[in-house]
Amino acid sequence: MGRDTTAVKKHHAQRSEPSSSNPYIYLLVKIYRFLARRAACPFNKVVLHRLMMSRTNLPPMTLSRIVLNMKGKEGKTCVVVGTVTDDTRLAEVPKLRVAALRFTETARARILKAGGEVLTLDQLAMTAPKGSNTVLLRGKRSARTVYKYFGAPGVPGSHARPRISSKTQTGRKHERGRGRRASKAFKVKA
């Protein structure tokens, strides 16, 4: 008789319920769990998986990104499991059909003004239960400010932002001393 060492290493890290306590998301999980089981297609499984993700893994997506990705895909529905935000740099919004978890007020208004359609994910489940004629998109995770600090600041070729106590410490002396200038002991060549 010995210890079962194989079972110790088995780690099932997939979520079985959403991290959010929002009842609307719980209902969506119920719908897409049913669809993933009964309507055998990868689309529903992916949407279900994304509904259970944490907020940092559900980055927002701007209208300009959606317009860029939907070029040449007219007549298809854009699906974003996350927030759709407005982009003031975008001059004209074409006619779009977008389904998402939530929309900012201005993004919703601009899509509707262009003659487009705004859907919730439960409405999408009714119209396209197998995800037919849809384009599944997601925002850029590394757009969060935290990512700017990842890495080693000061190392040649690194663009990592240094963690300094205040925004005012960006002058001549701060983070520009030893190793950065020949006049201060040495200069590291990139």
**Distance (Å, whole) CA 147 – CA 92:** 31
Q: What pLDDT is stored for residue 71 in this prediction?
A: 96
- The answer to whether 143 touches 59, Cβ cutoff 8 Å, is yes
> At 47, which helix (H) or strand (E)?
helix 42-51
User: What band does 190 get if pLDDT is binned at 50, 70 and 90?
Assistant: low
Q: What pLDDT is stored for residue 176 in this prediction?
A: 76
Percent of the chain with pLDDT over 70: 97
Q: Among candidates 133, 136, 100, which has minimal Cα distance to 118? A: 100
Quickly count: other Cβ atoms within 10 Å of residue 159's Cβ.
8
Task: Return mean pLDDT, the chain.
Answer: 90
Write out pLDDT tens, residues 4-23.
777 777 777 788 899 889 99
The sign one gets for the Cα dihedral 37, 83, 96, 73 is negative
Write out pLDDT tens, residues 132-142.
999 999 999 99
Average pLDDT over residues 78-104: 96
Q: What pLDDT is stored for residue 135 in this prediction?
A: 97
182 vs 176: which has the higher pLDDT: 182
User: What band does 154 get if pLDDT is binned at 50, 70 and 90?
Assistant: confident
State the pTM of this model: 0.82
Q: Among candidates 161, 145, 164, which has minimal Cα distance to 153? A: 161
User: What band does 1 get if pLDDT is binned at 50, 70 and 90?
Assistant: low
Among 76-85, 86-95, 154-163, name the one with the lowest average pLDDT: 154-163
> At 62, which helix (H) or strand (E)?
strand 61-62
Quickly count: other Cβ atoms within 10 Å of residue 153's Cβ.
15
Q: What pLDDT is stored for residue 180 in this prediction?
A: 79
Write out pLDDT tens, residues 29-49.
999 999 999 988 999 999 999
Write out pLDDT tens, residues 51-62.
999 999 999 999
Q: What pLDDT is stored for residue 171 in this prediction?
A: 73
